[in-house]
Structure 1
Amino acid sequence: MSRDRRIDGTGAINGLRANVLGVGDAVVMAIAGSAPGYTLAATTAVLAGAAGLASPAALLWCAIPMMGIVLAFKYLGRLDVNAGASYSWVGRALHPALGFLSGWALVVSATLFMVAGALPAGYYTLSLFSDSLAQNGTWAAVVGALWFLLMAVLVVKGVRITARAQWLMTGIEVMILLVISVAVLARGGGRETFSWSWLFDVTALGGAEGFAGVALVAAFYFWGWDVTANLSEETSNSRRSTGLGAILGVISVLALFEIVSIAVNLVMTQGDIQKNSAAVLADLGDALWPGWGGKAMVMAVMLSTIATLETTLIQVTRTLFAMGRDRTLPAAFGLTHRRWQTPWVAITAVTAVALALLFASSALGPVNTVLADAFSAIGLQITIYYSLAGFAVVVAYRRLLLKSVANAVFIGLWPLSGALFMLWVLYQSLLHLEATPLVIGLGALLAGVLPFTWYVIADSEYYTRPHARLDAAVADSMESQYGGIIGTVPTQRDGRVSDL
């Protein structure tokens, strides 16, 4: 029996429910994971402060190396269907310790993000009714906690009901953002005149140091699409569906980010963006349709925030599930509910920790201050596990990269460039970030030394008897049966090649 479907002492199958999601679900999950409405509302002012009118260019140029990481996930997912995604791939392609680092980086970044997301969920919900009430940090935390608990219940109940909720919330969110932004573009006029330099002038980003600053913000813009990989064990034909869903999802959110960013540039000055940083999208809606337009945008941001709380909870708990299954974290995380086949222990633990951090952070200061530090800290952790995935795919496919130009570009050069770009952004960020986000980001990563050391000393089989190394050449040798690296390929387990 494969290691993702074990029988416990009572005879019950312990594993995730297979073949629940399809390609369409994967695309919606990728979009919801990137949270276009929430991301634009929370970071447009930050990006504008670093890039000015060239914000669309920053997003476009940073999307290119990010797509290299998307390709890395796509091809690694064809070798190993695993809820741990980069945790499993990096551990099997590079080294188990690096695999743990990759998984831990995702766990801490996702946990921080759930705190950073729950506060705005409460804030935007309250702002629909009262601006003064929305400014109350305690009330924002309470309402955000209620939304978070509701999402936790849905995630426990199963990925099918979760996907249906995402279709509804993300569908409404994207429709509102598109209708208002496209209407602003079609109307034309405003405080600025459109220039193609907004999209293509990389020189306006302030050189290498300036570009590194906007790249860290842009990495946060796109982060979250990889939830599709964490859902691979629950997706039909996942070796194709999850990678395709991620690619289509990233392309979709890039187009949406560009449309909204250009619309904001047209109707708002850079000074207005900074002055009203918390209400950029509401102001965009009001510029088209005073009153109701702003409320519609707030609704879109609220739905986006709630939706991404759900996808982030899925991402972190599936990673914990895989790590518990491998005994690199407590084995209880690898247990699933008998009826719903979801990692209920991991969900319960993460919910408790996130809620505790949520109420602690609400006492630290205004929502915007807390979010700014959290975004930078999360960006550090994102660059680590994304870069490791980029290196892992090159190593896993090293003997096949020169078989064709397509292999060399899409599996070799592009992912490798994305990985090097992420490391460069990390280096620049360590040099220039302020103390608070550095302490949060690096401190959370260093906390992983404790479980890592504990399970190394305990002789966890993950470290002492690791799973067979990922090697695409072995899979490609069965091309006549499975279609090779461009088609569906088998997965190596325990030194043998077998189809999951």
Structure 2
Amino acid sequence: MSVTQPSTPEERRDNPAASRPPGSVDDSPTLRKSAIGLRESTIISMAGAAPGQVVAVSLAPLIVASSYGFIPSIIVASIAMLCIAVAFQRMNLWEQDCGGPYAWVGRAVGPRAGFGVGWILVVTFVVSLIINFVSIGPAVLALVGFDPNSQWGTVIATTVLGAFLTAFAVIGVQLTGRLQLSLAIAEYAVLLLFSALAFWALFANDRPNSVHPTWAWLSPSGVGGTGGFVAAMLLVIFMIAQWDTSIYLSEETERAETNPGKAVIIAVIVLGVMYTLICFAFATVAPPEAMEQHSTNAAVFVAEELTGTGWAKAMALAVVASVLAATQATIVGLARIMLAMGRDKVLPSVFGKVHRKFQTPAASTLLIGGLGIAATWVYILASSVAHALDLLIATVGFLFACYYALTALAAAWALRDRVLSNWRDALLGGVLPLVGAVLLGWVAIACAVDFATAEWMALAALSALGVVMYLIAKYRYRAPILRSPKY
């Protein structure tokens, strides 16, 4: 049934069948209903952001880019992401779909816009998948005492652990939730413990090598006015990004209308507080020159400085837990996005199938896990292809900012009739999504201005491939939603 005006959240709850686009496939079996609760949903969203991993690799660049003025960047980026999370929460009330922004934008604006956002979603998740898979090997090798630069060691470790994570994701989302909870306990406990030790060393022990904070750390331009606020913002957006993973599990979550939205809001708030606390604490441990020398894993370097190499193994374990959790969250989220697009026949229909026994998108999950393993082999063993992948990785922060901003704009548009009904809807459905979209749009534009020709060519290639996929979906798969003016 075609509609010309998006329905209200209340109407969507009263008539959930109205949310389905024309021609969508009502496959049997379906995803397992009420498989995870709010706790698991929140943990999976936080796992997507990979706090331990991104602190390890982003702390030194963040200090250098901001000249220690990273606290305003974290606060502003967190506020922007919270505004976007509110938009996601409102849209999840409107429609619970494992495609998330792909489905929402398509219904609110039009199928072409929905496909475009869906394509950006797939690209960002694939790039994140590659980053995570490539990180598994070195992190594990460093933990067990082997050379983290070993090519074949990296390939073997990634292949074994990647297959393990993929199998967990295929077997069921409940098993995924339990694994994520176990990894989160190990990761967050260690990060917070070493943050406390850093503060103790600074304020109680007056440790000689500590960097003492000044009021300039609260300035957007940092110490000496040499910091780059926009560059730091882009780094923080990358650090917080992928907090929306629980949205793609909405069809499998208890209280599907409310819990996924609560989960993303809680996740963004907790991540913002954690990053402020951890980055501030860790930045005091050693001067910037030392941090830069250990920029590949600054978190382990901080642990070594505070406690010696023995206890630093605990931090290495936390980083490994973070990498594993983020990798699995990416696999699970991307598989559901592809499931939604497969159900709508804008991707091959095999991706729209759910496994009868496990009630998971097994075909999509296996493809994604295999892609991650293959990409790691190529990245490690073929330097020419690795350069092309590096160009894609350089654009991921820009792509995240784009799809979050576009989804927020679509949320404001979809719920526009309710914005004038009362102040609460005006704030949550209109003002906050627009504020988040403007902030992230500003960062995306500022980032794009600094792109080199190679990065623009990478984006152009992705756009051209997206157009080709759209044409295939419309004329080869004859996707019903692409023949309708609106879902």
Report the TM-score when normalising by structure 2.
0.89
Q: Which amino acid aligns with 1:106?
A: L
Residues 64-84 of structure 1: CA deviation (Å, up to 9, x unaligned): 111111111000000000000
2:144 equivalent to 1:129: yes
SS at match of 2:448: helix
Question: C-alpha displacement at 1:243, in angstroms?
Answer: 0.9
**Kept in 1: contact 2:221–2:227 (CA 8 A):** no
Q: Which residue of 1 aligns with 2:181?
A: 167
Deviates more, 1:171-180 or 1:287-296: 287-296
* Equivalent position to 2:361, from 334, 343, 363: 343
> What's the CA shift for 1:383?
1.7
Of 288, 294, 316, 1:276 maps to 294
1:423 CA drift (Å): 2.1
1:467 positional shift: 5.9
**Equivalent residue number for residue 419 of structure 2:** 401
Question: What are the superposed Cα offsets for residues 440-496 of structure 1, whole Å, 9 maximum, x if unpaired?
Answer: 44433432111101122244211113664xxxxxxxxxxxxxxxxxxxxxxxxxxxx
Shift of the 113–462 alpha-carbon distance from structure 1 to 2, 3 Å rule, reads: same
1:381 Cα deviation (Å)? 1.7
In the other structure, the counterpart of 1:69 is 84
Give the structure 2 partner of residue 14 of structure 1.
29
Which secondary structure does the structure 2 equivalent of 1:107 belong to?
helix
Alignment of 1:48-447 (within 5 A): 48-131=63-146, 133-188=147-202, 189=206, 190-198=209-217, 200-204=218-222, 210-363=228-381, 373=391, 375-447=393-465
Alignment partners' CA distance in 2, 1:99 and 1:107? 12
Q: In the alignment, which residue of structure 2 is the partner of 1:487?
A: none
Post-superposition shift, 1:103? 1.1
Conserved 8 A contact 2:166-2:369: yes
Per-residue CA deviation, residues 365-388 of structure 1 (Å, 9 max, x unaligned), is 69x999975543211221221111
Amino acid at match of 1:178: L
User: Structure 1 pair 205/213, CA: closer, same or farther in 2 (3 Å)?
Assistant: farther
After superposition, the Cα gap between the structure-2 partners of 1:243 and 1:101, relative to the gap in structure 1 and judged at 3 Å, is: same
Is the partner of 2:69 in helix, strand or coil?
Answer: helix
Which deviates more from structure 2 when the two are superposed, residues 204-213 or residues 135-144? 204-213
Distance in 2 between residues matched to 1:364 and 1:15, nearest whole Å: 40
CA distance in 1, matches of 2:361, 2:148: 34
Residues 105 and 445, structure 1, Cα contact 8 Å, conserved in 2: no
Distance 1:36 1:42 in 2: 10
Change (3 A) 1:270 1:389: same
Contact 2:25 2:344 in 1 (8 A): no
CA gap of 1:456–1:437, structure 2 versus 1, over 3 A, is: same
Q: In 1, distance between residues paired with 2:225 and 2:349?
A: 48
TM-score (normalised: structure 1) = 0.87
Structure 1 residue 45: Cα displacement: 2.1
Letter in 1 for 2:210: R
Distance 1:415 1:207 in 2: 31
Q: Name the CA shift for 1:86/1:207 in 2 (closer, same or farther; >3 Å).
A: farther
Closer, same or farther: CA 326–206 of 1 in aligned 2, 3 Å: farther
Contact 1:217–1:376, Cα closer than 8 Å, also in 2? no
Verify the 8 A CA contact 2:84 2:436 in the aligned structure 1: yes
CA change 1:69–1:25 in 2 (3 A) is: same
CA distance in 1, matches of 2:225, 2:337: 37
Q: Say if 1:364 and 1:370, in contact at 8 Å, map to a contact too.
A: no
**1:32–1:307 Cα contact (<8 Å) kept:** yes
- Between the aligned partners of 1:252 and 1:43, the Cα distance in structure 2 is 18
Q: Could you tell me how far apart the structure 2 residues matched to 1:316 and 1:381 are?
A: 15
State, as a whole percentage, how many aligned pairs show the same letter. Answer: 25
Structure 1 residues 134-156: Cα deviation after superposition (integer angstroms, max 9, x where no partner):
11133213212221111110000
Stretches of structure 1 lacking an aligned partner (at least 5 in a row): 469-500
CA gap 1:6/1:457 in 2 versus in 1, 3 angstroms? closer
Given residue 149 of structure 1, which amino acid in structure 2 is its aligned partner? A
Structure 1 distance, partners of 2:456, 2:371, is 21
CA contact (8 A) 1:216 1:376 kept: no
What SS is found at the alignment partner of 1:225? coil
Equivalent position of 1:36 in the other structure: 51
Kept in 2: contact 1:58–1:205 (CA 8 A): no
